[in-house]
A = this chain, B = another copy of it.
Amino acid sequence: MKNLLTMKDLSVLEIEQILHDAHAFAKGELWKPEGQTFTANLFFEPSTRTRMSFEAAERKLGLDVLNLDCSFSSTQKGETLYDTVRTLEEIGAAAAVIRHSKDRYFDELAGRVGIPIINAGDGCGNHPTQSLLDLLTIQQEFIVLQGLKVVIVGDIRHSRVAKSNAEILARLGAKVYFSGPREWYDSELDENGYLTMDEAVETADVLMLLRIQHERHENKSGMTAEQYHERYGLTVNREKRMKEHAIIMHPAPVNRGVEIADELVECERSRIFKQMNNGVFVRMAVLKWALKTNSKEETKNGHLIKGW
C-alpha cells in the first residue's frame, strides 16, 4: 500500500503521473473507482480550503465521504489516533485524509493500518498536496521547471509549505531561494540562498509568499503588520520591479496588507485563486493514485481491501 505522507514518498515519475492526471481532470476527464467507495476526512485543525478542496475532489470522483468532526468525537475521550483510523477502516473507509497539529502524527499509522493515509498537513512539517498543486500551477505557466528561479518568502522555519516545496522544486531542477525575517530562516538551509525582499522581487520567476501564522507564534517578531509589509511584504512598489513574466503565489488564507498588498491579491500576475482551483484536480489525482494502488495489493495484515 502507498501512503502520501511527505513529498519524499513520491518518485519523480509518480509526480509526473499525478500532475498528468490532474491536468486531465482539469480538462473535464472523469475517473471513478468500481463500486461504492468511502473515504474518511479527519481534520484536527481548522481548515477551509484544504478540507473543502478534498471533499469536492472526493465527490467529483463519485466517492462517499465520511467527515469526522474532530472537535466533537471520541478523540475527546482520549482515543489514540491509531484506534480512530482503524475504526474508520472497519467502518468501511478505503482511504483516510488527515490534518493534525502534531508533527509526523502519521508515524503511528504508516504500515499499521490497512488503508492509505493521505497527509493534509502535519504540524510544521509537510503538506504534500499543497506542494503538488503549486507544481501544477507552475507547470501550467512555464511547462518546464528546469532552471526556474523560485523565491519562497516568509516564515520558512514554521511552514509546512516551504519545506515540502523547497525539497521537491530542487529535485525537479528549479533553483530555490528564500527571503523574509532572518530569525525565521531555517539554519539547516544554505545561507547563500537567502535574499533580501528587494533582491527577491527582481530574481524570482515565481514569488511564493507564505502566510504569517498568527495562530502559531504570537508576533514573536515584535513587528507590526505594517512594518512586516514594508520590510518583507510584496508592496505595490515592489511588484512593479518584478520580471515581466513572473508570477505570484500564496497558499492562503492571505493576510491582506501583510504578506501582500490588498490590491495585488487578484492582480494579473497573481495565481492565488488559480492555486485553489488546481487544488481540487491535484487531490482528485492523488486519491486516484492511492485508491488504484491500494485495490491491487494486499495489506500488511493479509486481507484484501475491498472497494466498498
Q: Interface of A with B (CB < 8 Å)?
A: 28, 36, 38, 40, 43, 46-49, 51-53, 55-56, 59-60, 64, 66, 68-69, 71-80, 83-84, 86-88, 90-92, 214-215, 252-256, 265, 273-274, 276-277, 279-280, 308
Contact = CB atoms under 8 A, between A and B. Distances in A.
Contacts of A265: 83
A264 to B, nearest CB: 14
A66 B50 CA distance: 12
Contacts of A279: 91
B88 A52 contact: yes
Nearest to A53: B91
B59 A64 contact: yes
A60 B47 CA distance: 28
Given A59-B38, A280-B92, A49 B87 contact: yes
A69 B72 contact: yes
B83 A253 contact: yes
B68 A52 contact: yes
B276 A87 contact: yes
A56 B277 contact: no
B84 A48 contact: yes
B46 A87 contact: no
B38 A253 contact: no
**Cβ-closest 10 pairs across A and B:** A48-B74, A79-B253, A90-B276, A90-B277, A48-B73, A74-B253, A46-B76, A59-B64, A90-B273, A56-B92
Contact of A71 (B72, B84, B87, B276): B72
